[in-house]
Amino acid sequence: MRLVIFFLTVLLIFTTSINAQSEYEELICPDLSNGEESSQEGGRFKPSENDAGEYFRALIVFVQFQDDERTNTNWPLDELPNWADDFIDDEVLSTYTDSTFSDYWDEMSQDNYDFIGDVYPDLVILGDEEDYDNDPTANYFDCNVDVFDSIEINVDWSDYDNWEFDDDEFVFTEGDADGYVDMIIMIYRDPDTWFTRFVPYGENFTAIASLGSENYNYITHDSLTIRFAANTVSTIGSGITYRLGLRGHLNSIETMAHEFGHYLFGGGHTNYGGIMGGKTYALSGWELNKLGYVAWTVADQDGYTITLGDMITDADLLKIPISGTQTFYLVENHQRLSSYDQIMRGGTQNGGYDWTTTAGSGIYIWLITSGA
């Protein structure tokens, strides 16, 4: 009984700071529908792990409008951002480059997911943003189509057709899977809110796990399909659109993890914590378990004792069931041994991100109300 009282007390302490803000601006992301039925173990609409010799490869494209005049030290006008080469590794490595999207997923997955990619070598410069804004029917869909018109002849799209969903599992076939491009990430500098028109519940979004607000198949020169799934995540959906690239490198990693999370978990959001609820940068314990990255230990008797290691580096989690319900407590030990473990509540950080300190480390306890 004393153990349960202790857990409840800590839970109340940490939930008092639930509205703490990060140093980054709020992520605005619309809920999406979930598309067709798909895998419920591991990634739902895209694979969340791979075997040796396999990988998940994406194409990253940086985009600017011709009339953009804003200066930014991290993304100079008419050039790729200075962090473009640091966003993702382009090959499978035993140790990925620190602070890349590849390193992030390698660490979250306990070395079980090789998410690699290629950065399109040139900045894509579209026409004047004012012209798009003045077209009452235009939004991000039209921009992405124009980007593909500009680059598609220069890309071997088979490099990005490596996975298909077949008989309730993801199957890797290098360069010749299902005829659909697996993943394209479009990163724009910072277009105005016209860019987000016609997106249900998503006006003024930061990013979206979609390439367009219309169902549309873009056929490439080598006869592959880039699927624009309208406000829907699905196994054949082909991409992510990020509107606010001027926020910089580390914010882009966090935002892309969230948007790709829609392909792993579905179209909705959790109410707090993890990549689908925000404010923690790393995946939450519930998310790590759902994707098969970390198995939890269940406290199934009175007086249960456990030495709980760090959640990220030791892959430890403790689940405390509440008898007769699907609700449970999830206990996470955050010693902040991983640079991506940015969960901090109260104290000097008050929910901010800081890669230079271990402040905020300790035991965090979440009440999970929707079952396992």
Break the chain into its structural domains and give their ranges. Answer: 2-22+285-368, 56-277
| Helix and strand totals (H; E) in the chain | 7, 14
- Among 24-33, 265-274, 304-313, the least confident range: 24-33
User: Of 39-43, 148-152, 274-278, which gets the smallest average pLDDT?
Assistant: 39-43
Residue 130 pLDDT exceeds 80: yes
* Rounded (10°) CA dihedral 100, 101, 104, 106: -100
- Segment 206-228, tens digit of pLDDT: 999 999 977 899 999 999 999 99
Question: What pLDDT, on the 0 to 100 scale, is given for residue 5?
Answer: 30
Asked if residue 358 has pLDDT above 70, the reply is: yes
Q: What is the pLDDT of residues 53-100, one digit of tens each?
A: 999 999 999 999 999 999 999 999 999 999 999 999 999 999 999 999
Decide: helix, strand or coil at residue 220. coil
Torsion of CA 334, 104, 71, 21, to 10 degrees: -30
How high does pLDDT run on average in the chain? 87
Helices (H), the chain: 2-15, 101-108, 129-134, 140-151, 249-265, 274-277, 285-290
Weakest-pLDDT range from 36-45, 102-111, 178-187: 36-45
Average pLDDT over residues 239-264: 94
pTM of the full structure: 0.90
The token pair at 65 is 């409008």
- CA distance linking residue 339 with residue 177, whole number of Å: 35
Q: Residue 170 CA to chain centroid, in angstroms?
A: 19
pLDDT at 115 over 90: yes
**Lowest-confidence segment of 155-159, 248-252, 317-321 by average pLDDT:** 248-252
Q: At what angle do helices 101-108 and 249-265 cross, to 10 degrees?
A: 50
Note the pLDDT of residue 215: 85
Residue tagged 């804004």 (tokens):
133
Strand order in the sheet with 328-334: 297-298, 318-321, 328-334, 362-368
Q: Give Cα 264 to chain centroid, integer Å.
A: 9
pLDDT for position 329 = 94
Are the C-beta atoms of 301 and 313 separated by less than 8 Å? no
Residues 332, 315: Cα–Cα separation, whole Å? 10
Quick one: which of 319, 295, 318, 298 has its CA closest to 307?
318
| Buried residues in 127-137 as b, exposed as e (16+ CB within 10 A) | eebeebbeeee
Whether 37 shows a pLDDT value over 60: the answer reads no
pLDDT in tens, 321-355: 998 898 999 999 999 899 898 876 656 666 667 77
